[in-house]
Structure formats: structure tokens, C-alpha cells
Amino acid sequence: MKYWFFILILSCHINSIEGQGISGHAKALVIGVSQYQDPEIQDLQLPHRDAELFASFLKSNHINLLDDENLRLITNAEATSARIASSLDWLFEYMSPSDTVILFFAGYGMDQYQNSIPSSKLYFYDTPLNLNNAGSFDLFLQFKAFVDKRKTVYKVFGNLYPMVLTPELRNDSVKVHDVKKPKPLFDHMVFLNSIGQETYTKSLEEMNAAKVSLNHLLIDGMLGLADKNNDRAVTLKELGQYLHQQKITSVIWPGLLFAAGNSNHESLAYVDPGILKSLNLMTNPTFSAIVDLETNSREDLQLSKLSEKNRQLYEDFIVALKLGHLINPPGRNALVFSDSLLQLKELFPLYGEIKRKLAAALQDETQQALNAYLNSDSREMIRRRNGSRQYQLYPEYLKLTCQLLGEHHYLYPILTAKRLYFEGLNKRIEGQLSRDKALIQEALMLQKQALVFEKEAAFIYNEIAVNYSLLDLKTEADKNFQLAIEYAPNWSIPFSNLAQIYVNGDIPKALRIARHAIRLSPRNSFAYSVEGTIYFQSKEYLKAEESFGKALKLDPVYADVYYNMACLKSLQGDYRAAKGHFEAAIQNGFTDIAHAIQDPDLESFRNQNEWNDLLKKYFPNR
């Protein structure tokens, strides 16, 4: 058996969306390619921005509400054929028919001699000009094969640009012939193309001089302009009607926009009445609608005085905030953009607004993590076990927020407490993984420092108690879990942790506390895991298996529960089942083979061929 105290996880890993649109879990792959490795392929300006804007829409619209773990944004040099293929595999990993997958691609996808769209004529970053001889795979066709095989709900969007070649190859121009309506690749598709009945010749300079791409029509429609029946939902059919009503001329380069899904009547997005009202009031928007909604009239007045280049910089700043790209990736993050904006004398009246926007975004990221934790969301456990990179970012976020607001700001004490809390949390996790109690001692000191700034923070008392537990100081752990409960009597997690203290001493008391944790939060998979552990210790194996099963239903990648199930089946002599559970534990992140080799609950299983098979497969050096 293994015992684990609940560790804070930093944001939701799996999204469960209620309503008529997306059901079950949702994942999205968003790709935008403006730059190309082959020097004979002319770079574009807008596809990577198309992708960023679309990703920011997915993160903000509550029908999708995708977090960083379930929304993968790939642009420019990252968008290699191999990376995109790998990300397509990721998109369908662990997905079931009740889940939803979303694909968006912006980039070169129209060949001037090709009337079948969408086709395999998609250019990724490392696609050579003569892609037919390079074995480039058909992204849309492969996506369709995956959704057909898994019967998964899907949404797919393409913003396809015509190919523009170098001056030497094509006189820096492209002749795009009239595009006939293609044979649909997907079950239900809607289109918009800007070609009409004529043939246009566009230079690269003209294409890149366009103020917006067709992408803004897609987002505006899904924000609400396509909702003609006013039911606050936009269906594929409504989006198609909206697109067909748009008057596109040769002022915008020839291109093609399409959307597809399982049904014409399934919702692509929900409509916020406030946003729709704002959209209808916009006459000459400064930016794309999703960005303009983040500005006020005072900002618009100042921004209207900027050059096109600097307005684009401000748009990049807003999009980076919406995407959560606050200090990463290098070169294209909100901090870098804000530093550049604060150098512009024309924006002096907005310096305070720019700093406040960045500070608010930094705070929101950390607060959402704490909110999910306080809500005992079992999905947080998945994030923790996966070792999210956000762990290391949160102290940096909070330190930067303090610098932006200043030490005299009324939020400074609580922000400092949170910074110390996350620093201690990172230190404690590192100590657990390395079995270094000195690191856990350092973590404990950081939590005590945090408590100086926020003396009634239940989450800090809970973390202090976890550190004491790991140092085998049960009395101190009990005392601090009780304090966490005193300050947050309806919070399930400290009860779950407290129950574990009594597993080896007072089984009835441990069981009462664990059951109370479950009553407080029936979705707390950790509480069910603790309940299963208590039954296991009491040798009530059928009840233990039932509790473990409930934990796995809430959290199907819970490695520790699979491990404990393997122990249970080993004691029952069901070695085939033990092998299955132990392998599931390994596949979901269990690596502590040294413990497993010594665990008495697995002794009989270790004498079986099934054990040897697993060792040979996953730990060949043992």
C-alpha cells in the first residue's frame, strides 16, 4: 500500500462542459503557420495571429472553456510536421464518444491549380515547396479518420491562404482560380471564400497589407453575430448563413474559411448578451472584436493615435493576456509586450491601465488554482501528478504582481503569503520526489513565513500539516489539520488528510472522518482513495475495491489507486488482475519500483510470471 497526502494542483486538467454544446471532456489543437523553413515559400503575417485569436476565443467562451492542459497552441517554427502529428495523437488520447475534439488550422492551404478544398495541400513550418514529393500527411483527412474511428464529437475550422511563391518562381504573385464548392470531407461543412466568379492576382505585399483576415468573421459570428434565432447559441448552420451574407471583395486577398462538425444543429459557441450588445455597437472597431471587447473608450482614443505597428503590439499584449502567456513563451508574452508598450510616449496616459491589466491576469492565474483546490476538484490531482510547469511559474507571477502594484498596495500581504505558499509547495514536492527531508523542512519554514502575512488561511495550515506528516510529526500534523478545518469547516481536503493520520491507529475514527470528507465533496477522488485505504487496512477488500472504483471513476488516471488495487488483488490471489492494475499504475506515472519490490502486500504477486513480465517490460534494469 501507498499513502499520499493531497498536494495542491494548479489548474484544471480535464474540462467537463455542461449544456447543449460540448459534453464530457474537451481538447483543442490550434495551429497557425506564418513562417516557413523553405526559403522559396514566402512568409505571411497573419496565420499565427489567427491561431492566437482563435485560441483566446476558445479559452474565453464558456462552451469550450479550455485550460492550458487541454488547449495546445502551435505556431511558426514549432509547427513542424512531426510536432503536429504528435499533437494530433495527443488530441485523441483518452477521448471517448461523449468528449469533444477541436481542430483549427491557419496557413497556406490553397494551391492555385487545385479545386479540391480542403486537401492535403497544407504547408507546415518544415514542409518543402514541392510537398507532394516530401511525404507530407493530410491533416484534415487524418483528423477525420480519427473521429470516425472513435465516434468522437468534433469541431474543425480552417482559414486557408493561397500559396505565394518567391519572385524568382512566380513574379511575387499568385493567380487563384475560382474555387468551386468542394466535395465535403466532413459530415457537415460551411464555407466562405473571397473569390466570387473572377480570378484575382495578388502580390504578397497586397496580401500582407490586409487589415484583418477572414478569421475575424469566424470569431465575430461565434461571439454572437450569427445567432439569428436569439437562443444564445451559435450552430454550424447559423454560422454558415452568417458567412454567406458577408460581402467579401478583392480588398481582402483570395482565401477560404470553413467550419465543420457532426451536426448542423449542434452548438459551436454560447452567446454572452453583454458581449453581443457590445459587438452590435461597434461601428469602426480598432481591433478584432475579441480584442476590442477588452478595451474601453478612453483606451480606444489613445490607441487610435498609434501607428499600425504599435496598435498590433497592443493587440498582441491583449491576446497574450487572454491566452495566459504571461511570462512565456520567450519573446511573445504579455510581460515583453507590456515593457514595449510602456516605452511609447503616446501611451503615457495608459501606463497605469497596462500595468493593472497585467497584474490582474497574473493574480487570476494563481487565484483560479486556489479556487479549484478549495473546491476539492479531483481534476486538480491529475495536474499535480503530471507535474505541471505552472508550479514553478506561480511564485514568479506573484512576485511580479507585487512589483507592479507596489508594497503599499492593500493586496501586498496576501500576494506575499501566496508567493511564499507556492514556493514552499514546490520545495515540498521536490523533497517528496527526492526523499529529502531537509527540503521538506525548508518547505515547512516557507509555509510558516506565509502564515505571518495571512494568519487565517486554511490552505496554508493544511500545507503545514502535510509537511509535518511527511516529517512523521503526527501530533503537529493533527493540530494544523484541525486549524485548517476550523478556518474552513466545509472544505473536504483537510478532512481527507486528517483521516490518513488515523489509518494505522484508530480505524473507526479514520473512517468517520473520511466519510465526512466525502459528504462535503462527493467529487473528491482523494477522499474515496483514503476510504478505500481504510477498508484495505481492515481487510474489508470488497468495500475497499468499491471505494477505489469510485476514485477511479472520478479520476481515471489515478496511479496511486491503481497501485493499491494491484496490492488488493495480489492479496486475493488474482494475479491477472493485479498485473492489469499494476501496469495501469505504471502507465499513469507510477515509478517507485523500489517501494513495490519491498511492499509486503505485493509479495505473492512478485512470485508470479506476470510480475516478471512487467519488470522486463518497464524496468529492464531491475
Read off the pLDDT of residues 525-581 as tens digits, 9 standing for 90 and up.
Answer: 999 999 999 999 999 999 999 999 999 998 888 889 999 999 999 999 999 999 999
Residue 12 pLDDT level (bands cut at 50, 70, 90): very low
Find the mean pLDDT for residues 87-96. Answer: 85
Mean pLDDT of 106-112: 71
Q: What is the pLDDT of residues 403-432, one digit of tens each?
A: 999 999 989 999 999 999 999 998 998 898
Supply the pLDDT for residue 23.
45
pLDDT at 14: 30
Pick the range with the lowest mean pLDDT from 31-35, 166-170, 401-405, 413-417.
166-170
- Is the pLDDT confidence value at 133 over 70? no
Query: CA 170, CA 153: separation in Å to the nearest integer?
Result: 42
pLDDT over threshold 70, residue 62: no
Q: What is the mean pLDDT of residues 288-316?
A: 80
**Residue 114: pLDDT band with limits 50, 70, 90:** very low
Does position 235 have pLDDT exceeding 80, yes or no? yes
Question: What pLDDT is stored for residue 59 in this prediction?
Answer: 84
Q: How far apart are CA 103 and CA 186, in angstroms?
A: 13
Residue 375, pLDDT above cutoff 60: yes
Residue 135: the pLDDT is 53
What whole-number distance in Å separates Cα of residue 390 and Cα of residue 388? Answer: 5
Radius of gyration of the chain (CA): 27
pLDDT band, residue 267 (cuts 50/70/90):
confident
Could you give the C-alpha distances from 581 to 13, 572, 578, in angstroms and in order? 23, 13, 5
- Residues 252, 194: contact at Cβ < 8 Å? yes
pLDDT per residue over 199-214, tens digit each?
A: 344 555 655 555 456 7
Please say if the pLDDT value at position 474 is more than 80.
yes
Confidence of residue 99 (pLDDT cuts 50, 70, 90): confident
pLDDT of the residue at 113: 34
pLDDT of residue 19: 35
Close Cβ partners of 140 (under 8 Å, ≥ 6 residues apart):
103, 105, 118, 122, 156, 158, 185
CB 69 within 8 A of CB 383: yes
